[in-house]
Amino acid sequence: MSVVERIKDQLENNQVVLYMKGSPDFPQCGFSGQTVQILEACHAKYKHVNIFEDPELREALKEYSSWPTYPQLYIGGELVGGCDIVIGLYQKGELAKMLAEAGAVAE
């Protein structure tokens, strides 16, 4: 399976995917940590992918998404954006709606 096929597979099989530096329990950059905190505050069900564990994916995802930085949050297979965009959506109440519409909120 090519790296692009792996990315597509992850996005097709998970409603919410966070490509981040580190893990939710041990984020390895402040922006990834902030994004995790927001997802947790929204009670989001999501898959995380630690880009440090897969350098090939880390490089390919930049091209795939046309987004040069991490974290990258996807909902329903679509790129939402990075930390600043996620913060803005959260503050407006839009992120919670997007997650609920995707069926990605824990009961």
Per-residue pLDDT of 1-32, as tens digits, reads 899 999 999 999 999 999 999 999 999 999 99
Angstrom distance (rounded) from CA 94 to CA 30: 22
3-state secondary structure of 59: helix
pTM beyond 0.85: yes
Reply yes or no on whether the pLDDT at 107 is more than 80. no
CA dist 104 and 41 (Å) reads 13
Q: Flag whether 83 is marked binding.
A: no
Give the C-alpha separation, 85 to 2, whole Å: 29
Domain 3-99 has CATH 3.40.30.10: yes
Ranges of each domain in the chain? 3-99
pLDDT digits (tens, 9 = 90+) for 53-86: 999 999 999 999 999 999 999 999 999 999 999 9
Identify the pLDDT of residue 1.
Answer: 87
